[in-house]
Amino acid sequence: MNKKQKKVLYRILATVAIIAVYKLIPVSEESLIGAFLYLIPYLLIGYDVLLKALKGIKNRQVFDENFLMAVATVGAYGLKDYLEAVAVMLFYQIGELFQSYAVGKSRKSISELMDIRPDYANIEADGQLRQVDPYDVQVGQTIIINPGERVPLDGIVIKGSSSLSTAALTGESKPRDVSEGDEIVSGCINNEGVLYVQTTKAFEDSTVAKILDLVENASSLKSKSENFISRFAHYYTPAVCFGALALFLLPALYNILKGQPADWSVWLYRALSFLVISCPCALVISIPLSFFAGLGGASRQGILIKGSNYLETLSQVKCVVFDKTGTITKGVFEVSGVHHCPIDRDEMLEYAALAESHSSHPIAKSIRNAVSRPLDESRVSDIKEFPGHGVIAIVDGRQVAVGNGMLMDQLDVEYINCQDDVGTVIHVAVDWQYCGHLVIADIIKENARQAIGKLHDLGVSSTIMLTGDEERVARSVADEVSIKEYRASLLPQQKVEEVEKILGNAKGKVAFVGDGINDAPVLTRTDIGIAMGAMGSDAAIEAADVVLMDDDLLKIAKSVKISRKCLRIVYENIIFAIGVKLICLVLGALGITNMWAAIFADVGVMVIAVLNAIRALFVREN
C-alpha cells in the first residue's frame, strides 16, 4: 500500500472512530450542534471529492463521479440526513481505496514480470570492473556479465560459456546455452559462467528497450470496447444528472397540479439516491483494467501484444495464414543431396557457396555450411539478387547462377527436376551450362501439428500455408502438419496478393504468422500480424501487431485463448455493471431502496467488476 492509499485508510478509520464516539455520547442529528459536529467527519472523509467536483465545474468538465457524489451527499446533508451523507462518502472512499489497491497490485504484478530493464553494465577499466549506466556503453565495447546478473545489452559472446534464463522474455523456464560466437540479447539472466560480450547495439536500440517501449505504450492503443465505454460515460453521466433533476421536479409538480402535497424532500432524496446509484466508475475502471490485465497475462507467457485493439482483434480470428520457412519449419536447412552434377561435387558446392556468400537467407547459409573449407569472398564480384528466384555472381571470372527453376528459365538454361527427395531444389549453372542441383531439407517443428490442432479446437475454421517452395515440398509439409490449404511457388509480392484474396473471402478476422524479417509486407497487411521467434528481431517488433518471443507455435493458440478470455471478462463486466445499475435505478426511483443501499450497490458492483477484471492476468496452461 502506497502513501496515498495509507492516507485514505487513516481518514476512513478516523471517520469511523468519530461516528462511533457520536453514537456513544450520543449526538442528536436534529440540533444545530449535531449539524456542526457531523460536518467534521463529512469534510474529513470527503474534502478531496468536493475539491475535485469544484475543480471540474471550474474547468467546465462538470459531469463526473466526483460531481455525482458531491451533489448527492450535500443534498443529503441539506435534508438533515447527516449520518447518511457521511456514510455515502465513507463507503465511496472505501470503494475507491479498494479499486486503487487492486489496480496497483495488478500493475505491480505486471511490472515485476516485465522488470527486465538492466540497472548497470560491467566494463573493465584500469584492470578493475566498473559499473556504468547501460546508456553510456558504446557499440563494439566489451562488457562483462557475471553469474546472476542480467544481460544489459545485445551482443556477441567473445569469451566464456554459460546458460541464460530467458523466462522474462519468452515465458519459458528452459535455459539457453551460449558460448563463444553466439548472439545474446538484453533482458536474459546469466545463470553460470562469466561472459565477455562485444555489444552490437546501443541501449536505446536493444531488445530490452524495444520490449519495454512496446509494453509501456500498449495501453495507448484502445480497443473498440474501451472507446465505447468512454463514449458511453461521456453521454451517460449528464443524462443521469438530468434524469435525477427530472425525478426531483416532475413528480412534485405533478402532485401540485393534482392539488396534493408536493413532497419535495421525498423526491429530492430519491433523486439524490438516483445519482449515487448511477455513478459509472465500475465500467470506467474495470474495462480498461481488464484489457491491461490481459496484456499483462500475455506478457507473462512471452507474448507481446501492442495494444488493446490488437487483443480484441485477436479474439475474433477465424483464419490463420502461416509462412512456411522459419515458422512451421525451423528454418534450419541442410544440403541433403547433390544430383546430376557433371563436375566435381565439391567444386560445384564451392561455386554455389561463393555466389551466395553475401546472402542472409537460411538456404544460402546452408549451402555455405556444406563447404568444409573456408570461403575466399575476394573471388566473388558483381552479385545480383533476384528476389524469389535466386542469385547470379561472377566467381573466378565465371558467371555462376544459383536459384530455382524460374531463374534457370530466365537464363534459358535447361535443368532437371529432382524426383527422389522432398526438399527445396536449388539449381546451379556455370557459364550458362547446367551443373546439377542441390536438395535443401528443412526440419518441421516438433509441435507444429499439435499447434494447428489447438487452433482448430479453438474454433479457427481455416489454416493456410504460403511458401515460395515448389508444389511437391509444400504438399509434403502441409500434409505432415494437417494444413489442408496451401499456396506454393510464391514470390514475395505474390504472398501479398494471396493474402488479399484470403481477406476478401474470409468470414472472420485473418492473422498472418511469419518470422518477422522477410514477411513485413504481409504482417502489416492482414488484420493481425504475428511474428514468430522474435527475440532480438527488430524487424519483427516493428512490423508485427503480436510478437512471440520464441519459436513455440503453441503460443499462437495461447494468445487467441488469452484474448478471448479477456474479451469475455470485458463483456461480463459490461453486462453485469449496466444490468445492476438499471435495476437499482428503477428501485431507487420508486423509493424501494435508500441511499445506503445505493452506495452499497455502487461499491459492490465496482469491487466485483475489478476482481473479475484481474482474472484476465491469469490463463491456464492447458
The pLDDT tens digits of the residues spanning 554-589 come to: 999 999 999 999 999 988 988 888 888 788 878 877
Give the model's pLDDT for residue 495.
86
pLDDT bracket for residue 335 (50, 70, 90): confident
Q: How far apart are CA 383 and CA 605, in angstroms?
A: 68
Instruction: Show me where the domains of the chain are located.
Output: 3-111+221-291+566-617, 121-152+154-200, 303-328+446-549, 334-441
Q: How far apart are CA 469 and CA 227, in angstroms?
A: 44
Q: Is 498 a residue whose pLDDT tops 80?
A: yes
Q: Which residues in 104-247 belong to E strands, given as ranges?
A: 121-125, 128-132, 142-145, 155-159, 162-165, 176-178, 183-184, 189-190, 195-199
Give the model's pLDDT for residue 516.
60
pLDDT bracket for residue 508 (50, 70, 90): confident
What does the pLDDT average to over 207-212?
75
Q: Which of 462, 453, 458 is nearest to 560 (CA)?
A: 458
**What positions carry a catalytic annotation?**
323
What does the pLDDT average to over 435-446?
87
Q: Is 597 a residue whose pLDDT tops 80?
A: no
For 303-328+446-549, CATH gives 3.40.50.1000
What does the pLDDT average to over 279-284?
70
For the stretch 305-315, pLDDT in tens is 888 888 999 99
- What is the percentage of the chain residues whose pLDDT exceeds 70? 89
What does the pLDDT average to over 318-337?
86
Q: Is 140 a residue whose pLDDT tops 80?
A: yes
Give the model's pLDDT for residue 220.
59
Average pLDDT of every residue of the chain: 84
Q: Which CATH number fits domain 334-441: 3.40.1110.10, 3.30.43.10, 3.40.50.1390, 3.30.365.10?
A: 3.40.1110.10
DSSP code for 444: B
Q: How far apart are CA 222 and CA 467, in angstroms?
A: 34
What does the pLDDT average to over 235-248?
82
Q: Which of 610, 611, 596, 601 is nearest to 90 (CA)?
A: 596
Q: How far apart are CA 427 and CA 419, in angstroms?
A: 14
Q: How far apart are CA 503 and CA 510, in angstroms?
A: 7
Give the model's pLDDT for residue 97.
82
Question: Class of the 121-152+154-200 domain?
Answer: mainly beta
Higher pLDDT, 520 or 397: 397
Rg from Cα positions in the chain: 33
What does the pLDDT average to over 104-128?
71
Alpha carbon of 273 to those of 99, 241, 248, 281, 586: distances in Å?
Answer: 22, 11, 11, 16, 11
Give the model's pLDDT for residue 530.
92
For the stretch 420-439, pLDDT in tens is 666 778 999 999 999 999 98
Whole-model pTM: value is 0.69
Give the model's pLDDT for residue 144.
94
pLDDT bracket for residue 197 (50, 70, 90): very high
pLDDT bracket for residue 68 (50, 70, 90): confident
pLDDT bracket for residue 132 (50, 70, 90): very high
For the stretch 37-66, pLDDT in tens is 999 999 999 999 899 889 988 887 766 778
Choose the most confident range, by mean pLDDT, from 89-93, 241-245, 552-556, 595-599.
Answer: 552-556
What does the pLDDT average to over 231-249?
80
Higher pLDDT, 456 or 97: 456
Higher pLDDT, 225 or 155: 155
Contacts of 449 (CB under 8 A, 6+ apart): 480, 481, 482
